Amino acid sequence: MVEGQLEILKQIQWCLEKYGVKPVHVEKFGAAGLFFVFAGPKGVTGTVRIHPEGVVTLTLEYFVCNGLSPLFSTKELQRLRDEVEEKLKASRSRLLPPVQRGLAVDPYLTTSDERLLQYDFDVKLFEERTPYQKVMIVHSPSLGNALILDDLINLAESDGIYTDTLMLKGRISYKGKTCLILGGGDGALLHQLLQEDPDYITMVEIDEVVMQACSKHMRSVCGDSMDSHKGLHHEIIVGDAVATMEEYVKEGRRFDFVFGDLTDIPISTDPTAELWLFFRRILTLALSLLAPSGIYLSHANGVSSHKALSMFEEQLGAIDPPVKFSKCSAYVPSFMEPWVFYQVWYKHSPPVVLPDTLQSSLLS
Amino acid sequence: MVEGQLEILKQIQWCLEKYGVKPVHVEKFGAAGLFFVFAGPKGVTGTVRIHPEGVVTLTLEYFVCNGLSPLFSTKELQRLRDEVEEKLKASRSRLLPPVQRGLAVDPYLTTSDERLLQYDFDVKLFEERTPYQKVMIVHSPSLGNALILDDLINLAESDGIYTDTLMLKGRISYKGKTCLILGGGDGALLHQLLQEDPDYITMVEIDEVVMQACSKHMRSVCGDSMDSHKGLHHEIIVGDAVATMEEYVKEGRRFDFVFGDLTDIPISTDPTAELWLFFRRILTLALSLLAPSGIYLSHANGVSSHKALSMFEEQLGAIDPPVKFSKCSAYVPSFMEPWVFYQVWYKHSPPVVLPDTLQSSLLS
């Protein structure tokens, strides 16, 4: 087997030589194959791993300052790939674009199911570590400004569809209604609800820094809705949503609509039991604040995160008194995946007029 | 300097040791820093590159069969990252999800500006190398089935917006009109135009395999429009668009609308002069087939591909007799980026009724 692997090495070596990249070390792993180290000019290192299962990987690494040309052009790399594929008589091969590490504006984020996405962020507009999270606003030429909390994209200027779907804009009337927003620090939901002639909107957001940053850098999203904490038809409470809800429950407050727009809803694909207990606590509190025929509207997770979504629905099934729910999804541009939104109400007190979407997507 | 680098190595070594991963080789690059090779159980290799500019990279590589658990869980990797960041007193660090190489269904594609995107493709439904291209249809749980030609995503079942924007659906009336589609082998445009009560649609697609594969696997997109090559209101010509257009020009044929939906429009960020000359040839032919007040409608490129888009407009500026154009863009879910579409007409023969969007986005 080693001989076959050395032959593979010889072919790759032949391909790399014209770039001045030469083998300098070999590491033998017995049954796990061979690992070769290459080195070339300008500090280029290469590694070739020959996995006995039939996969050969070639990785080049080098440093260039941001903005300077890469040491290998795309065309050179394509030629190298083609040559290696031909020399090895490989059935298929794949050239991946350079993974860029150490950039001042990191371009990589992940989907809800941990797939790698490279964004076109070019400028960091805001960054601050608050007691609650790392708050960042970056600019993307294709998506506009984007709010990123703890390396998760929360909302970009391209994402009107997120708020439209969360509030079922045009399908639910908010005229003269009372609303409670849990979270929503980007101000998009508050801004959109204020256009609908509501009676009063209360928003509880824990992180003042998020609101200030969005008021400055995401103005196309939040308008002037967060310029002051109190307006004719709205109030922003800077505080903990759970504590505020507990207080409201004691006071007997009720809202026609409660919105779940918290950032700390368990979006990991591997959420802990405690996180879900915490989530159910929020859910129970939110539902207990609903006026008769009220609706709880919440975002949930990416459509691909089946486990998290079924956990979400499991929690809904455990609520007492029992609830009914409907759901819908919309592709959110900056998330680069479709996102799922839920509408929840008490079985014993359904919405007076169920909007079409709630009826048609009724699940329980 | 080397001493400081060895101290960095010592710290990383300490962090890796609990996973049984130990240093086995060092490569010195002088001014370009140090490169360390680690090895661990189950054929894990690690490389640590200490770039004197201040970036330290740690890369782990190992083989597992598809479907088996990774050797390191996300939580373990996060802990390792945190430890390394703390030990090195790094100002920031980034953990990227595993780059998966050698999978039967490759999950990686790129945006038009060569950014890396990881899709959730799970099943390969179709693959064939034709004389023209590599045709592949894969399934994505979040996007539906997707047509991929030569590693470029052409259309997915999620992408109704692509066709709607290409034809300005609802903003241009096709009733009683004649249309020529260049390319369009996925059948989406043909299917949508047939819903608009047109007089006659001619489609020229070179690759029969694409049409057959889409008729089978992308039926939500093309309906039954490609089940036969001739219908009451349409005809599909399997052939070269340029040759067919040249023939039509000789015959004096004219169409109310010509659509550019070819896959070989230069979408590379580094297109050659010949490609652009070819593109201008297509454009000139297409425009010469327009009936008086006709419109040429074409997709172009991602909004981030500034160079390709300005080349596109440069070609439009070189057309004689002179043309006017408008453009619009739409975020196409499976492209994971907004795409730009153009509408072009002769200056001396503008559309009789300019749809709103054409007027409002008029550029020249």
| Residues on chain A touching B113 (C-beta within 8 angstroms) | 120
pLDDT of res. B363: 43
Q: From residue B323, how far is each of A347, B199, B283, B308, B316 by CA, in Å?
A: 62, 26, 11, 19, 7
Contact state of A331 with B336 under an 8 Å Cβ cutoff: no
State the maximum Cα–Cα separation within chain A, in Å, rounded to a whole number. Answer: 80
Across the interface, of B33, B97, B141, the residue whose CB is closest to A43 is B33
* CA-based nearest residue to B99, from A306, A95, A9, A70: A95
> pTM (2 decimals)?
0.92
Domain boundaries, chain A: 1-88, 108-154, 157-346
Is the CB of residue B108 less than 8 Å from the CB of residue A96? yes
Rounded-to-10 torsion of CA A167, A173, A178, A183: 10
Range 164-193 of A in CB contact (< 8 A) with B: none
d(CA A310, CA A308): 6
Tokens of A344: 């929840």
- The A residues from 68 to 107 touching B (CB cutoff 8 Å) are 74-75, 94, 96-97, 99, 101-102, 106-107
Residue B157 has pLDDT above 90, yes or no: yes
CATH 3.30.450.20 at B1-88, yes or no: no
How far is Cα B356 from Cα B173, in angstroms, rounded to an integer? 12
Instruction: Classify A200 in phi/psi space as left (phi over 0), alpha (psi -120 to 50) or beta.
Output: beta
Kindly name the residue from B240, B261, B320, B356 that is annotated as catalytic: B261
Tokens representing B279? 């593109």
ipTM of this predicted structure = 0.91
Half-sphere exposure of A309 (CA within 13 A, CB side): 18
Which active-site residues of A does the annotation give? 261
pLDDT for res A294: 96
How buried is B188 (Cβ within 10 angstroms: 0-12 exposed, 13-18 middle, 19+ buried)?
Answer: buried
DSSP assignment letter at A169: B
Chain B residues in contact with A112 by the CB 8 A cut-off are none
Interface subset of B 224-253, CB within 8 angstroms of A: none
Instruction: Tell me how close the Cα of A118 comes to any Cα of chain B, in angstroms.
Output: 5
Instruction: Say how many C-beta atoms besides its own lie within 10 A of residue A357's C-beta.
Output: 17
Residues on chain B touching A309 (C-beta within 8 angstroms) = none
User: What is the C-alpha end-to-end distance of chain B, expressed in Å?
Assistant: 59
Question: Containing H/E element for A280?
Answer: helix A273-288
Question: How far is it, in rounded angstroms, from Cα A76 to Cα A73?
Answer: 5
Using CA atoms, how far apart are residues A163 and B189, in angstroms rounded to an integer? Answer: 30
**Could you tell me the mean pLDDT of each successive run of 10 residues in chain A, 364 residues long?**
80 92 86 86 90 91 88 91 93 92 93 94 96 96 96 95 96 96 97 98 97 98 97 97 96 97 62 77 95 95 88 90 93 96 93 66 43
Distance of CA B167 to the CA centre of its chain: 19
Closest CA to A287 of A359, A182, A204: A182
Instruction: Specify the higher pLDDT residue, B133 or A29.
Output: B133
Best interface-test mutation with A: which of B91, B143, B336, B340 has the largest number of A CBs within 10 A? B336
Q: Say yes or no: A129 contacts chain B, CB-CB below 8 A.
A: no
Confidence (pLDDT) at A361: 47
Report the DSSP pairing between strands B45-50 and B234-238. Answer: unpaired
CA distance A246 to chain B (A): 33
Q: Which residue of A has its CA nearest to B25?
A: A25
Indicate whether B361 pLDDT > 80: no
The Cα–Cα gap between B301 and B196 comes to 26
C-alpha pair distances (Å), B235 with each of B209, B249, B262: 17, 18, 17
Asked if residues A218 and A187 have their Cβ atoms less than 8 Å apart, the reply is yes
Question: Does A97 contact B117 at a Cβ distance shorter than 8 Å?
Answer: no
Contacts of B39 in chain A (CB under 8 A): 27, 29, 35
**pLDDT tens digits along B285-305:** 999 999 999 999 999 999 988
A260 touches chain B (CB under 8 A): no
pLDDT of residue B27: 83
Confidence (pLDDT) at A354: 66
| Tokens standing for residue B113 | 């500006």
**Which residues 33-52 of A have a C-beta within 8 angstroms of B?**
33, 35, 37, 39, 42-43, 45, 47, 49, 51
Residue A364 confidence (pLDDT): 37
- Residue of B206, B210, B97 whose CA lies nearest to B152: B210
Q: Which pair of structure tokens corresponds to residue B85? A: 């960041």
Mutate to test the interface with B, among A331, A332, A339, A340 (most CBs of B within 10 A): A331
Class of the domain covering B108-154: mainly beta
Tokens read off for A320: 């007492």
B165-181 pLDDT, tens digit per residue, is 999 999 999 999 999 99
Instruction: Provide the pLDDT for residue B276.
Output: 80
Q: How far is CA B109 from the centre of its chain?
A: 7
Contact A74 B114 (CB under 8 A): yes
Chain B: closest CA distance from residue A227 (Å): 31
B1 touches chain A (CB under 8 A): no
Taking CA atoms, A93 is separated from A50, A59, A86, A307, A335, in Å, by 14, 13, 10, 33, 29
Q: What is the DSSP letter of A192?
A: H
Percent of chain B with pLDDT over 90: 72
Closest CA to A115 of B103, B58, B157: B103
Dihedral pair phi/psi, residue B168, rounded to 5°: 50, 55
Contact across the interface for B35 and A37, Cβ inside 8 Å:
yes
Backbone angles phi, psi at B79, to 5 degrees: -65, -45
* Per-residue pLDDT, A362: 45
Cross-chain Cβ contact A25/B25 below 8 Å: yes
CB contact residues (below 8 A), chain A span 315-344, against chain B: 331, 333, 336-338
Q: How far apart are CA A268 and CA B74, in angstroms?
A: 11
pLDDT, one tens digit per residue, over B313-337 is 988 998 989 999 999 999 999 999 9
- Cβ atoms within 10 A of the Cβ of A312, count? 25
The percent of residues in chain B predicted with pLDDT above 70, rounded, is 94
In single-letter form, the type of residue at position B237 comes to I
B22: β partners = B39
- Nearest CB among A25, A111, A270 relative to B37 is that of A25
Q: Which residues of A touch B49 (CB under 8 A)?
A: 45, 61
Characterize the bridge pairing of strands B290-302 and B255-261: parallel
* Separation between Cα atoms, residue B345 and residue B38, nearest integer Å: 63
CB contact under 8 A, A94 and B106: yes
A21 CB neighbours in chain B (<8 A) are: none
Sign of CA dihedral B344, B347, B352, B358: positive
Tell me which chain A residues have a C-beta less than 8 angstroms from the C-beta of B53: 63, 65
Cα A191 to Cα A21, A215, B331: the distances in Å are 57, 11, 23
Which DSSP letter does residue B43 get?
G
Determine the CATH number of domain B157-346: 3.40.50.150
pLDDT of residue B354 exceeding 80, the answer is no
* CB proximity list for B137: less than 8 A, separation 6 or greater: B124, B125, B126, B127, B145, B146, B147, B148, B213, B214, B217, B218
Residues B145, B16: Cα–Cα separation, whole Å: 42
What confidence score (pLDDT) does residue A273 get? 73
Select the residue of B32, B59, B303 nearest A43 (Cβ to Cβ).
B32
The yes-or-no answer to whether B1-88 and B157-346 have a common fold is no
pLDDT at B362: 45
Interface probe for B, chosen from A27, A116, A121, A310 (most Cβ of B below 10 Å), is A116
Short-list B130, B135, B73, B132, CA closest to B98: B73
Cα A310 from Cα A192, distance rounded (Å): 29
Q: Determine how many CB atoms are found less than 10 A away from the CB of residue B147.
A: 28
- For residue A150 the two structure tokens come to 């703890």
Q: Which token pair is B252?
A: 């004096």
Q: Which of A53, A108, A333 sits opposite B331 (nearest CB)?
A: A333
Å from A351 to nearest chain B CA? Answer: 30
Nearest beta carbon to residue A101 from set B37, B55, B115: B55
Bridge partners of residue B330, in order along the sequence: B339
* Angstrom distance (rounded) from CA A331 to CA B291: 38
Q: How many CA atoms lie within 13 A of B230 on its CB side?
A: 0
- Retrieve residue B45's tokens: 């290799």
- Amino acid identity of residue B316, one-letter, is L
| Residue range B96-111: mean pLDDT, rounded | 93
